[in-house]
Chain A
Amino acid sequence: MRWLSTALVAACVCASSTAFAQAVTFTNVIRNGSPRASENGGRILTRDEPLGARDCPCESWTFEGTIMPVPTARTLEWWIGNSATACATATNRFPAMNATCWPLDRLGINAALPIASNRFSVTIPGRWIVDPLTQTCMPPASISAGSNVHVTAMLRPPDDMVPLGTVPVTVSVARPVTVQSVTASGAESSAVVEWQHLRAEDGGTAQVPANTAGYYVLCLPRIVGYDAGLSSTACAPIVTDSGASDAAATDATSTADATAMDSSSGGGSCGSETLPAAFDPNSDSQLAQYACSPLLATGTSRYTVTGLTNGSSYRFAVVAQDNAGTRSTPSTFTSCVSPEEVTDFWERYRQNPGMTAAPGCSTTPSRFARTLPAGWLAFGLALAAIGAHRINARKDSRS
């Protein structure tokens, strides 16, 4: 009986491959519009890097490939599945209950390919990839943070749809764990900010979350003119065939943010000023207004904010950023800290009465000390010359 079942399976595979001979091959995936593109020296993000919360509203993904042979009288559709095989089963597909595969038919990219072409190029906004239902950059419950979604090309024959190929996209829009225990101390024209960033699942006893990319320190009142290396403009809205609502949504957000920022930028005494209620750390333009540090490397837990005014008061908070570029909510702001003048070792040394009694003890090296390096160099050259001579002598004696 075993040979019979094997023969039946082989026959089925053969029949299915004969009936649905088309196959999609993805040859290129191009990412455009991510605000992260300006980070890391303008390096273009690759398809293997996650699609983060900052990418989601701004970015578009263009999938290029071929389909062989060219389908006739059929429609090529694009779906998003939460696994490579989710779209293969009709009961998984939207509008089924608990669907795990959703259509992108609102994009207007489901038209049949021209008969003579076997190449396709489809551009999908990031927000459609993350959330094909509402495009709010919040994935459906069946897509967990950091998991892969699969952009799936499907051919609609008269009776049913057949997946032809998928390409995985890692989505990581969940906010990182918020930084804890932020403290600050005043120093000379500066303040030293220290913090802890621990994995929440370890009860705060273990190390930094594994996917942390770095930190920004925020200052209140903000330091006017500080350049944290962030873009000061909001990302351009994605324009698609059906993208009018996308643009409107992005513009609305930007306007609200700008209004909130304006209301908070007027200064005021320390403690009375807060971040605007609509502050979104994932917005580069908003973060740029309050950041008083560049992106600090992961592992950093202490940073000196410079350029402050002695006697003025400041408060500080820290935002974490993960490898997908997604940022945490700001930590709790510290209490007010005032930079003040400090006395370093050399100032104390120079204040000492012993200095006035012995003015010769200065930072300027003596003539002897100035010439000594040259003497060392000459000495080293002499040693090298003797060494070379000795090696030659040894070679001669051996030969």
Chain B
Amino acid sequence: MRRSSIFVALLGAVLTLEAPALAQTFGPRSRSSWETPQNFAIELRIGSFSENIDGQLGLAGRGPFQEIFCSTRDPNAAAGTAVGCPLRFRGGLEFDWQILRLGPVGSLGVGAIASYSNATARAPATAGMTSTDPTVWRRTAQDTSLQVLQSSIHAVLRVDVLARRIRWLPLAPYAKAGIALAPWWVTNGERNARDPITNEDAIGLSHGFFLAGGVAVMLDTFEPDVARQWDQTSGVNHSYLFFELNYTYLGGFTRRTLDVGGLAWTAGVAIEF
């Protein structure tokens, strides 16, 4: 509870900073005369799926996630060819509200991310799991999946002074920090898996924190006239391509929950409006 109290206090501080920002979307000297007001950002995100389920059990690289989802064989390859952990992706959306303009330096705001990912593999036949080597387990045609709907609410600091002031350096680094929440569920074939002990559906809610750092390339630099026209006709101030590294801990604060987060990369496109 102590950690969560600290975080709530941080959020409160962010919201308190909002008050003086009411009168300043942008300082008169830090925006061009033709620019429309800028308050929000949207990101379309795609990145890698990561988890720390085995690590949480102290079985990194040899736990149940590795056994089920990372030890299957390529049915088209020669016998004995095991497939490693395939690259799995996460897709999502982020919405930011740029509450506070920090003069010409950048903006501080709050944002929310919602993203979806899953890991799917053919479930092994129970009778065929006699070996300790999961790559030789006999797999059935039935899929088993771990599906995760990861989300976060976070503070966002975007430093866009370089991109705005130095034409040949259109980079806008940023950082995010916040809380993360991830409903997840396991399927067995076309239905939810059942917990073998409680006989309840294998669904749950993990929580933790979210940290991210990245850099965005302001696309206005390449087509300034188009960017200006887009701003004046649609209100879109800037567009970016971005790449970030993020770490999500979802193992729980006060009680251990399934850690379906980890270190991941994310890339995508963003607009500010």
Interface residues of A (CB under 8 A from B): 184-188, 190-192, 194, 304, 306, 340-352, 354-355, 358, 360-370, 372-373, 376, 379, 382-383, 386-387, 389-390, 393-394, 397
User: B80-121: which have CB < 8 Å to A?
Assistant: 97, 99, 110, 121
* Contact A368:B69 (CB < 8 A) given known A340-B126, A342-B123: no
CB atoms of B64 and A186 under 8 A apart: no
Can you spell out 10 A-B residue pairs with CB atoms less than 8 angstroms apart?
A: A187-B123, A188-B123, A304-B190, A345-B144, A354-B59, A361-B258, A363-B203, A369-B257, A372-B205, A383-B97
Contacts A188-B140, A354-B58, A354-B59 known; 5 new A-B pairs at CB < 8 A: A187-B140, A342-B140, A345-B121, A345-B145, A360-B256
**What B residues does A354 contact at CB under 8 A?**
56-59, 63
* Contact A341:B181 (CB < 8 A) given known A348-B67, A349-B53, A363-B202: no
In the A-B complex, list the 6 residue pairs whose CB atoms are closest, starting with the nearest: A185-B141, A354-B57, A187-B142, A192-B141, A366-B255, A346-B202
Q: Interface 1/0s, chain B 147-189, versus A by CB < 8 A?
A: 0000001000000000000000000000000010100001111
B253 at the binding interface (Cβ < 8 Å): yes
* CB proximity of B8 to chain A, nearest CB, Å: 8
**What B residues does A347 contact at CB under 8 A?**
193, 196
Q: How far is the CA of A350 from the CA of B63 in the complex (A)?
A: 11
CB atoms of A350 and B197 under 8 A apart: yes
**Which segment, of B15-23, B216-224, B235-243, faces chain A?**
B15-23
Q: Which of A184, A191, A192, A345 has the most CB of B within 10 A?
A: A345
User: Of A346, A367, A376, A390, which contacts B22 at CB under 8 A?
Assistant: A390
* Closest chain B residue to A185, Cβ basis: B141
B206 at the binding interface (Cβ < 8 Å): yes
User: B232-273: which have CB < 8 Å to A?
Assistant: 252-258
Q: How far is the CA of A362 from the CA of B198 in the complex (A)?
A: 10
* Closest chain B residue to A341, Cβ basis: B126
Q: How far is the CA of A370 from the CA of B1 in the complex (A)?
A: 13
* CB proximity of B193 to chain A, nearest CB, Å: 4
Q: Which of A186, A366, A376 has the most CB of B within 10 A?
A: A366
CB atoms of B257 and A379 under 8 A apart: no
* Contact A345:B68 (CB < 8 A) given known A368-B207, A393-B22: yes
CB atoms of B15 and A382 under 8 A apart: yes
Interface residues of B (CB under 8 A from A): 1, 4, 11, 15, 18, 22-23, 25, 37, 53, 56-59, 63-65, 67-69, 97, 99, 110, 121, 123-127, 129, 140-142, 144-146, 153, 179, 181, 186-190, 193-198, 200-207, 252-258
* Closest chain A residue to B123, Cβ basis: A342
* Contact A376:B188 (CB < 8 A) given known A192-B141, A344-B144, A366-B257: no
* CB proximity of A355 to chain B, nearest CB, Å: 7
**What B residues does A349 contact at CB under 8 A?**
53, 64-65
- How many residue pairs between the two chains, A and B, have CB atoms under 8 Å in the bound complex? 163
**What A residues does B69 contact at CB under 8 A?**
345
**What A residues does B254 contact at CB under 8 A?**
366-368
CB atoms of B126 and A352 under 8 A apart: no
CB atoms of B65 and A345 under 8 A apart: yes
User: Of B99, B194, B257, which contacts A365 at CB under 8 A?
Assistant: B257
Q: How far is the CA of A350 from the CA of B201 in the complex (A)?
A: 13
Q: How far is the CA of A360 from the CA of B196 in the complex (A)?
A: 16
CB atoms of A188 and B153 under 8 A apart: no
CB atoms of A364 and B68 under 8 A apart: no
* CB proximity of A167 to chain B, nearest CB, Å: 46
Q: How far is the CA of A348 from the CA of B58 in the complex (A)?
A: 15
Q: How far is the CA of A187 from the CA of B27 in the complex (A)?
A: 65
Q: How far is the CA of A344 from the CA of B69 in the complex (A)?
A: 10
User: Of B58, B65, B142, B179, which contacts A190 at CB under 8 A?
Assistant: B142
* CB proximity of A124 to chain B, nearest CB, Å: 46
CB atoms of B4 and A341 under 8 A apart: no
**What B residues does A184 contact at CB under 8 A?**
141
User: Of A368, A383, A393, which contacts B4 at CB under 8 A?
Assistant: A368
* Contact A361:B153 (CB < 8 A) given known A187-B189, A346-B193: no
